[in-house]
A and B are shown apart, each in its own frame.
Chain A
Amino acid sequence: MSTTPDSALRKPDFPAFKAIYCVLPDDGTDKRVLIELRKRHGVIRASTWACRGIGALAQVKTKRGKLPESDLVKQLCAICTEDQADEIFDFIFWSANVDKPGRGEMWQQAVTGCTPYELPADIPDEKTGA
């Protein structure tokens, strides 16, 4: 896919977006944060996936020259506008308890382009069915 001159011209008008990543323990926090991001902040460009987390500072016994056992962790990615970034970053930090030991880490990166994304309006709520 190549960038056409038209789309290149449109880019300066495009709102600036940020990608916020967060590594979380596999205890359901990721799903809870995703739901709250949608309900409270309207952020729907977000997803999580499973990965292996290896913490070098984890207080576990390992043999010399060996790595500690990895943990199953979840990585969350949320895309939001630049205006929302401060609010969303702080929200994820506090709601996922990232300030507590062993609760993961998070970071923010600039995104140079982003497609619009909408969900169908007639999806029933997962819990209430309404």
Chain B
Amino acid sequence: MSEIIYLTDVAVINCIVDKERTDAVLLAARDVGARGAIVHTVQGWGTRERLGAWGVAVETEKDVIAFLVSSDQQDLVFDAIYQVAGLDAPGRGFMFISPVERAATYVPEAVRKQLNVNPE
């Protein structure tokens, strides 16, 4: 059994957007270095049911997208998502970053050797 490599300086970015924008958000995040994402489909109601001059009903089918990113990357990924998701427009969604104390995942053998942690 090898040793767990605890990853620190990690953050979770959670983003709530309309379903139709999910793929664009994922692509934008990948392009700036996000390694992966988890998507939950949710039924989301905000504080208003209708928006805009025409009183269009707010789309309630939302996706919550979670990205686990390094602290160095978090601003870059955050900015990229913000632009693509159009979060500067009213009613498009919102996002937030929360700190992670530690993370763990599969670390390839080559990286383990580089770090000199339990090379097999």
Contacts and interface: CB of A to CB of B under 8 A. Distances in A.
Interface residues of A, number: 33
B104 A109 contact: no
Interface in B77-120: 98-108
Contacts of B21: none
B51 interface: no
A38 B12 CA distance: 27
Given A73-B38, A93-B4, A94-B1, A102 B106 contact: yes
A55 B36 contact: yes
Residue of A93, A94, A102, A109 ringed by the most chain B CB atoms within 10 A: A109
Contact of A51 (B10, B39, B102): B39
A49 interface: yes
Given A93-B4, A99-B4, A100-B106, A108 B101 contact: yes
Contacts of A110: 99, 101
Contacts of A23: 38
A65 interface: yes
Contact of A105 (B23, B30, B68, B99): B68
Given A56-B35, A56-B36, A100-B106, A67 B27 contact: yes
15 contacts: A52-B39, A52-B40, A57-B35, A57-B36, A67-B26, A67-B30, A73-B38, A89-B104, A94-B1, A98-B106, A99-B4, A105-B36, A105-B104, A106-B104, A109-B12
Given A75-B40, A105-B68, A109-B100, 10 more contacts: A51-B41, A53-B37, A53-B39, A56-B30, A94-B1, A100-B106, A105-B36, A106-B103, A109-B99, A109-B101
